[in-house]
Amino acid sequence: MFFFLNSKLNSFLIKLNQYLLYYYFRFFVFSQVNREKALKPRLLFGYTPIISNKYWSKAMNKKGYISHSISSEVPIINSKDDFDLYIDDLFPIKGKPTNWKETQRKLRLFTYILKNYDILIMSFRYNYFRDTVFWKKEAVILKHYGLKTVIIPYGSDYYIYSKVIDHSVKHNLMINVSSDIFNNKEKEERIAYWRDNADCMLMGIMLDDAPRWDFLPVSTVCIDSESWKRIKKNSLADGLNEPVTIVHTPNHRGFKGTEFIFKAIEELKQEGLKINFKVIENMKNTEVRRILVEEADILVEQIIAMGYALSGLEGLSAGIPVISNLHREDLTQIFRRYSYLNECPIVSGTPENIKDTIRKLITNPGLRNQLGYSGRKYVEKYHSYEAFQSLFEKIIEKIWLEQQVDSMYFYNPQDPTSYNNATSLIEHPLKNNRIP
């Protein structure tokens, strides 16, 4: 009984301290922030520790915007200079960390953001008042000071396991990120909160129970395509005359379907095909890039999770064929009708067809080189820095300059004025991402 009462008292004191700090900052610190609306808004991407924030921010830097990426930590595959700002560097905690000090740091960071930025690009989970009792005050203050918010989920901040339609995906989420099973309520609250308060929301292919979207890109991810150009010459290896190098880059093996890929590779080797198989895990991005642009012939990205992620774009940009799961017609059809998925030269792979799909690519170097060429063109058109600049400037027109923007038609292939039709369509030999 004493332990229970003591725990309740500690919880009450923490909440009380957080509210006292919040109201102090709200009325005595935030009120001193003076802002003028700039024609060209200042952008802050973060603070989720994902490399996409770096790429998005650098894309807008190159377009002349003041744009920074901020992170809470340095992931193992990244370098310290991958992000512009770190919360620990901006506002270090002196001495032993306490809840009081952490709350104070969050409020000081928020004051800094109010003074220096105009549009915040965040995920559903990594918001600046995260882990405080006043997190629902964030959007109110941002709106009061004229800041705009763009929400782009990264995965685990959005997936509510009970609402994931694909049970294989759900099964592997429960294996690979089991702790999130107990965060459904928190996620639902935050998703609903930003659904109602965000100025723009981009979902990409994560549409299972999606609350809202304002543009319909197949993927929001972009890449520095100039840094991922192929160095290796087109290969004529067919697995009989010479080995074919296949690369797989799992971060969560179950989610990527790694066990099925291993089995397929082993069986193909037993059939007599010469394969040089490289599995890349916990490796610095610089080494991943070297392998893809200098050695790889095929990249197998993911065959359980739907769509493609940054690893797939790295392979496409490097000019090699990429295999990812694009089989679910209930999810892909909207992107074929109203976005640019029909131009995507990724070969769709599943656990059931992965062996046959890999075999076809190994034994047909001409097809590999054709898909590699189309993949490079696809990245340049839809996932380069220039492509993201086009998308984000349209977002700025809509939410910052408050212009009339038909955002739902930005990628509509039926609209002759859409982004898709501004340049030549990407041609490739696939039908619905399958090899005929």
Q: What is the pTM of this model?
A: 0.93
Buried b (16+ CB within 10 A) or exposed e, 349-365: bbbebbbebbbebbbbb
Q: Which 3 state secondary structure label does DSSP give 94? A: coil
The pLDDT assigned to 232 comes to: 83
Residues 6+ apart with CB under 8 A from 60: 43, 67, 388, 389, 392
The full set of domains in the chain, from first to last, is 2-151 (3.40.50), 225-384 (3.40.50.2000)
Residue 391 sits at φ, ψ, to 5 deg, of -65, -50
The pLDDT assigned to 76 comes to: 63
Written as six digits, the tokens of 202 are 């981009």
Taking every pair of Cα atoms in the chain, the longest distance, rounded to a whole number of angstroms, is 76
> What separation in angstroms does the CA of 144 have from each of 33, 45, 138, 343?
11, 20, 10, 42
Written as six digits, the tokens of 115 are 């003074």
Q: How far apart are CA 337 and CA 340, in angstroms?
A: 8
Residue 118: other Cβ atoms inside 10 A: 22
The pLDDT assigned to 5 comes to: 46
Q: How far apart are CA 304 and CA 254, in angstroms?
A: 8
Residue with tokens 């960071």: 109
Tens digit of each residue's pLDDT, the chain (436 residues): 444 446 676 787 888 889 889 988 998 899 888 888 888 999 999 999 999 999 999 999 999 999 999 998 877 666 788 899 999 999 999 888 888 899 999 999 999 999 999 999 999 988 999 889 999 999 999 999 999 999 999 988 998 888 889 999 889 888 888 777 778 888 999 999 999 999 999 999 999 889 999 999 999 999 999 999 998 888 999 999 999 999 999 877 888 999 999 999 999 999 999 999 999 988 888 889 999 999 999 999 999 999 999 999 999 999 999 999 999 999 999 999 999 999 999 999 999 999 999 999 999 999 999 999 999 999 999 999 999 999 999 999 999 999 999 999 999 999 999 999 999 999 999 999 999 9
Residue 135 is classified by DSSP as: G
The pLDDT assigned to 3 comes to: 45
Please name the helix (run of DSSP H) or strand (run of DSSP E) that holds residue 263, with its range, or none: helix 258-270
Q: In this structure, is the dihedral angle defined by the CA atoms of residues 217, 325, 227 and 68, taken in order, positive or negative?
A: positive
Amino acid (one-letter) located at 48:
T
The pLDDT assigned to 6 comes to: 64
Q: Are 68 and 45 in contact (CB under 8 A)?
A: yes
Q: Are 347 and 375 in contact (CB under 8 A)?
A: no
Axis-axis angle for helices 354-363, 365-382 (nearest 10) = 100
Residue 89: other Cβ atoms inside 10 A: 9
Written as six digits, the tokens of 109 are 């960071």
Residue 308 sits at φ, ψ, to 5 deg, of -135, 155
Residue 20: other Cβ atoms inside 10 A: 12
CA atoms within 13 A on the CB side of 311: 26
Residue 246's DSSP bridge partners are: 277, 298
